[in-house]
Structure 1
Amino acid sequence: MAYRKKCGDIFYRKIDLSHKIAKAFVRKNFGDEVQAVIATHVDASHVHNHMIINSYSLSGQKYYANRSSLRQARETTNGVCRAFGVTPALNFENKGRSVSYYEWNQNKKGTSWKEQIRQEIDKLIPSVNSLDELLQVLEERGYEVKRGKYISVKAPGQQRFVRTKTLGEEYTEDSLKTRIIYREVGAGTTPEIDNKSQLRADYAAILSDVRILAVQQKKVPRKQIITAEYSVENDLDVYRLSAQLSVINKDNIRSIGDLEGRITKLRIEYEKQRQDINEHIEEYNRMVSLLEQAQLFKDLSAKGKLSDAEQLQHTVCRQTLNQNDIHSPADVDSMREKARHLGIKISALKENLEGCRKRYDVYSDIFKTYGEISRGDYISNLVEEEKRRREKDTKKKRKL
C-alpha cells in the first residue's frame, strides 16, 4: 500500500496492466504448461516486462527459438496488447521484419521523413483529382519529385529521395491512383447484384474471391483507410472492386460492350468540351486585352502633354477600340460585365470537363479490371504479388 501511495493510483494501474499483459502473452504464446519468470520493471520512463522461460514445458516439449517463432511472438504480443486496449509500440504484422528503432521513434515524435511524406500525401488526396496533380501540389509545397519506374519524393531538408512504395502498400503508384479516383465513388455502399448481367455476376464472383484471399492472408495487405487496422473491410483491393461494382449498378452498365460505348462517348465529349473551353478562353483573353487598352486610352487622354511614344499608344488604342465598337465608358462597362459572365461560364465548363475526365478514368479502370477478370489474371496477379513479397522478405531475413 505504501508503494502504491508513493507511485500514485494511475502509475500503479499501469504496472498492474503491464504485468497482466505479460502473463497473458506467456500463456498464449508458450502454452499453459510453460514455466516462466516475469519481472515488471519501473526503472525507466516506460513500464516494461522481462521474461525468462524454461525451454522445456512440464510435459517435456521443447520450445525452439528461431526466426519463425520470433515472428509469431511479435504478432502474439500485438494481439494481446490490443485485447487489453493497448496500442502496440511496434507493429510487426504483415511485415518481414520490424521498422528500425530510429524510424519508429521518429514516427512517434512525428519527425520521421517518411511519416512526414505520408501525412502530406494523406492530407492532399481528398483535394486532388489525379496522381499528376498530387505530385504537382507536392512540388508546390517544396517537395522534390522524380518520376521513373517508381515515384520518388524528397521532403524539404531531406537528404535522400524515398520511393513512395517504401512508405507502405497504400502509397504505390497504383494504390495512390485508386485512392484518388474512388475516394467518392461507391464509398459506404453495399452493391446490389443483378444476376442477369454477366458483367455484374463476374464482378461479384471476383470480389468474393478477393475477400477470401484477404481473410486467408494470401494477398498483399493494402489499406483503404491507413489510420485504421487492416481487415477485409479495410482492404484497398476489396474497396476498389466494391466501388467499381457500385458504379456499374448506379450507372446501370449492362455489359462490357455498353461500357466500351460509354467510354467512346466520353472521349468524344471530353474533346468537344475542351475545344469549347479553349474558344471561350480565347474570347475572354481578347476582352481582357480590350479592357486594358480602354484603361490605357483613358489614362493617356487625361494626361496633358504626351510624348511621341505615348501619342502613338493613344492612337493605336483609339483605333482598336473603334474597330470593336467601343466608343464610350458605357461600352467599356458593358464589355467588363460580359467578361465577368464569360469567366463564370469558363469556370463552370472547366468543372464539367473535370467531371467528364473523372468519369472517363473510372470507366477506363473498370474496363481494364474486367479485362483482367475475364482473362483470369486478377486473382493470379494478387497471389503472385504476395508470393514475390514473401520471397523478398525471406531474402531480407537471410541477410540479417
Structure 2
Amino acid sequence: MPYCKCIAIHTTVEKSLRYILDPDKTESLLYTTSINCITDAESACDQMGLVYNQSARDHFDSPPPLEGKGSVKAIHYIQSFSPDDNVTPELAHKIAMTMVRKNFGDDAQAVIATHVDKDHLHSHIIICSYSLSGQKYYANKESLRQFRQNSDGVCKAFGIEIHPNLEGKGRSVDHYEWEQRKKGTSWKEQIRQIIKELIGSVNSLDELLQALEERDYEVKRGKYISIKAPGQERFVRTKTLGEEYTEESLNTRILYKDIGAGSTPMQDEPSQLRAAYVAVIGDIRILAEQRKKVPRKRIITAEYSADNDLDVYKLSAQLSVINKNNISSIGELEGQVSRRKDFYDKQRGEINDLIEEHNRLVSLWEQVQEFYELSKKDELSDTDKLRKAVCKQAMERNDILNSADVDTLRRNLNSLSKRISGMKESLGKCRQQYEVYSDIRDTYYKISKGDYLSNLVEEECKRREQTKKKLKR
C-alpha cells in the first residue's frame, strides 16, 4: 500500500515544481502530467499564480514575511509505494492522476510526476491551493486523512492490496530500511549526508526542512527539530546528529555560507566594536584548541580544530562584514539594521504594486488573445458574442486599438516581468543582509555583556555532565 504525506508550500512553488519535473527521475519526463496547466515548471507556476491571485487575498509572488511562513500557495502530496506492491511506473502514474480527480475534483490545477529513480516508485502531486472555481484546499491533518482514505480506495480499485491494520493511516512498509541495510548506512549518517547535500542550495532553515520533506523525510518542528528518514522507525533530533546539526548551527551554516570569513584585513583605525570581536575570537580559539568548548565543526568532513570551529567561523564572518563595511560602533551597526529593514519594507511595497500591475496586464493580454481568437470564427454563439464584447470593451478602455498597441502591451508585459524578477532577487539579498546585520548586533550585545564566552563554557560543562550520565547507565 502507498505511504502518503503532504507539504505546504509557502514561497518555493517553482523550485518544488522543478524538483518533481526532473527528467532524470521521470524517464525524461515520460511519467509527468498536468491538469488545468502546462507541464512545465515556469509555465505551471505562472498559471497557478493567476488562479491564486483571482481567489486569494494575497499575491502568489508576494515576498515572504519578516516573521512566519506566510500563506500557503500550493500543496505538495507524495504517494510512495513499496517494492512489495509490484506497481509499474505506468500504474503508479495512473493512480496519481486518478487521485487528483478523486480528491480535488476536475477544476484543480495540478502537476503530477512519478519518480522511478529509486527501488520504490513514488508520485509527486503539486496542486494550487485554490481551484479554478475558487475553492480553497487545505494542508492539515484532516485533509491528509481524507487523502489517505481516498488513496486506499483508489488503490483497491486498481487491485492493490491494503493491509487491514493500516487502512486509512497511510503507513508504508519499510522498503527504505532494506536499501539502507544493504548499503550499510546508518539512519543518522543518512540524515547527515542529505543535510550536507542540501544546505548549500537553500536560503533558510524552513527551505531546508521543506527540501527534506520533498525527498520523503518526515520532519517535526517543535522545541527541537526532529527528522525521520524513509523507513526509519523513530525520529531523531538534529542535535543528536552532532553539534553542527543543532538548529542554531544549521541557521549559522545557511546564513553565512556565501559570506566567507577572515578575507578582509583589519582597518588601521581601531574601534570598540572590532576590538571586542578580535578579543572574543582569540579566546574562543584557545577554548577550541584546549577542548574546553563544544566541538562544532564548520566543515563536516574535516578534522576538528580551531580553524574548523563553527563558532570561530561565525564570528570571523561577522568581523569580515564589519570590516568590509567599515562599521566602527554599535550605533553604526544599529543604523545598518534599521536602514536595511526600511529598505526591505519599501521594496516589498514596490514589488507588490508591480505584481498587481503585472497581473492586470496578464489578464488584459489574455482578453486580447481571446478577442482575436473569437474574431477568426465565422459564426459565434450568443455566449461567444458576449465574451467578445467584454474583451473589446477591456481593450478600448486600455487604448488597445490596433496591432501596434498589442505589440506595445506585449513589450510592457515582458519588461515588467523582468523588472519584477530582478527586484525579487534584490529583495532576497536585502533580506539576507538584514538577517546578517541583526545577527551581528545580537552577537555583539552578548559579547559586550560577557555572555558569549560564559555560555560556551557552560554549554560544554553540561555536555560533559550528560556524557558522564550516559556512561553510568
- Write the letter of the residue equivalent to 1:310: D
| 2:190 is equivalent to residue 133 of structure 1 | no
More helix by share: 1
- Deviating more after overlay: 251-260 vs 116-125: 116-125
Q: CA deviation at 1:110?
A: 5.9
- Write the letter of the residue equivalent to 2:248: D
CA distance in 2: counterparts of 1:374 and 1:212, whole angstroms: 19
Tell me the residue number matched to 2:283.
Answer: 209
CA distance in 2: counterparts of 1:110 and 1:351, whole angstroms: 42
CA distance in 1: counterparts of 2:439 and 2:181, whole angstroms: 34
1:105-116 equivalences under 5 Å are 109=183, 111-116=185-190
Q: CA deviation at 1:304?
A: 2.5
Runs of 4+ with >6 A deviation? none
The 8 Å contact of residues 178 and 240 in structure 1, kept in 2 or not, is answered as yes
Tell me the residue number matched to 1:270.
Answer: 344
- Write the letter of the residue equivalent to 2:343: E
| 2:237 is equivalent to residue 170 of structure 1 | no
Describe the shift of the 1:297–1:159 C-alpha distance in structure 2 as closer, same or farther (beyond 3 A).
Answer: farther
Describe the shift of the 1:315–1:157 C-alpha distance in structure 2 as closer, same or farther (beyond 3 A).
Answer: farther
Structure 1: segments with no counterpart, 5+ residues: 1-102
Tell me the residue number matched to 2:196.
Answer: 122
Q: CA deviation at 1:321?
A: 1.2
Q: Alignment partner of 2:454: what SS?
A: helix
Describe the shift of the 1:346–1:109 C-alpha distance in structure 2 as closer, same or farther (beyond 3 A).
Answer: same
CA distance in 1: counterparts of 2:443 and 2:349, whole angstroms: 30
Could you tell me which of 364, 373, 394 is aligned with 1:290?
364
Tell me the residue number matched to 1:198.
Answer: 272
Tell me the residue number matched to 2:254.
Answer: 180
The 8 Å contact of residues 261 and 318 in structure 2, kept in 1 or not, is answered as no
Q: CA deviation at 1:145?
A: 2.0
Q: CA deviation at 1:208?
A: 0.6
The 8 Å contact of residues 195 and 201 in structure 1, kept in 2 or not, is answered as no
CA distance in 1: counterparts of 2:181 and 2:434, whole angstroms: 38
Tell me the residue number matched to 1:51.
Answer: none
Tell me the residue number matched to 1:156.
Answer: 230
Structure 2: segments with no counterpart, 5+ residues: 1-176
Tell me the residue number matched to 1:330.
Answer: 404
Could you tell me which of 441, 457, 466 is aligned with 1:367?
441
Q: Alignment partner of 1:152: what SS?
A: strand
CA distance in 1: counterparts of 2:198 and 2:262, whole angstroms: 21
Tell me the residue number matched to 1:384.
Answer: 458
The 8 Å contact of residues 186 and 244 in structure 1, kept in 2 or not, is answered as no
Tell me the residue number matched to 1:257.
Answer: 331
Describe the shift of the 1:360–1:107 C-alpha distance in structure 2 as closer, same or farther (beyond 3 A).
Answer: farther
Q: CA deviation at 1:336?
A: 1.2
Q: Alignment partner of 1:252: what SS?
A: coil
- Write the letter of the residue equivalent to 2:310: L
Tell me the residue number matched to 2:377.
Answer: 303
Q: Alignment partner of 2:306: what SS?
A: coil
Tell me the residue number matched to 1:339.
Answer: 413
The 8 Å contact of residues 253 and 259 in structure 1, kept in 2 or not, is answered as yes
Could you tell me which of 223, 228, 232 is aligned with 2:297?
223
| 2:469 is equivalent to residue 395 of structure 1 | yes
Describe the shift of the 1:339–1:156 C-alpha distance in structure 2 as closer, same or farther (beyond 3 A).
Answer: farther
Describe the shift of the 1:258–1:397 C-alpha distance in structure 2 as closer, same or farther (beyond 3 A).
Answer: same
- Deviating more after overlay: 114-123 vs 134-143: 134-143
Counting matched residue pairs gives 295
The 8 Å contact of residues 262 and 320 in structure 2, kept in 1 or not, is answered as no
CA distance in 2: counterparts of 1:129 and 1:136, whole angstroms: 11
Describe the shift of the 1:110–1:174 C-alpha distance in structure 2 as closer, same or farther (beyond 3 A).
Answer: farther
The 8 Å contact of residues 193 and 204 in structure 1, kept in 2 or not, is answered as no
- Deviating more after overlay: 145-154 vs 191-200: 191-200
CA distance in 1: counterparts of 2:216 and 2:404, whole angstroms: 47
CA distance in 2: counterparts of 1:383 and 1:107, whole angstroms: 39
Q: Percent identity?
A: 65
The 8 Å contact of residues 264 and 324 in structure 2, kept in 1 or not, is answered as no
- Write the letter of the residue equivalent to 1:264: S
TM (normalized to structure 1)? Answer: 0.70
Q: CA deviation at 1:308?
A: 2.4
The 8 Å contact of residues 243 and 296 in structure 2, kept in 1 or not, is answered as yes
Q: What does the per-residue CA deviation read over 1:320-375, in whole Å, with 9 as the maximum and x for residues that have no partner?
A: 11111112233222211111111111111111111111111111111111111111
The 8 Å contact of residues 216 and 230 in structure 2, kept in 1 or not, is answered as yes
- Write the letter of the residue equivalent to 2:467: D
Describe the shift of the 1:174–1:191 C-alpha distance in structure 2 as closer, same or farther (beyond 3 A).
Answer: farther
The 8 Å contact of residues 348 and 427 in structure 2, kept in 1 or not, is answered as yes
Describe the shift of the 1:194–1:147 C-alpha distance in structure 2 as closer, same or farther (beyond 3 A).
Answer: farther
Q: Alignment partner of 1:156: what SS?
A: coil
The 8 Å contact of residues 191 and 242 in structure 1, kept in 2 or not, is answered as no
- Write the letter of the residue equivalent to 2:416: L
- Deviating more after overlay: 106-115 vs 261-270: 106-115
The 8 Å contact of residues 262 and 319 in structure 2, kept in 1 or not, is answered as no
- Write the letter of the residue equivalent to 1:167: L
Describe the shift of the 1:161–1:191 C-alpha distance in structure 2 as closer, same or farther (beyond 3 A).
Answer: farther
CA distance in 2: counterparts of 1:367 and 1:158, whole angstroms: 41
Q: What does the per-residue CA deviation read over 1:16-58, in whole Å, with 9 as the maximum and x for residues that have no partner?
A: xxxxxxxxxxxxxxxxxxxxxxxxxxxxxxxxxxxxxxxxxxx
Q: What does the per-residue CA deviation read over 1:66-112, in whole Å, with 9 as the maximum and x for residues that have no partner?
A: xxxxxxxxxxxxxxxxxxxxxxxxxxxxxxxxxxxxx9xx6994633
Tell me the residue number matched to 2:317.
Answer: 243
CA distance in 2: counterparts of 1:389 and 1:190, whole angstroms: 34
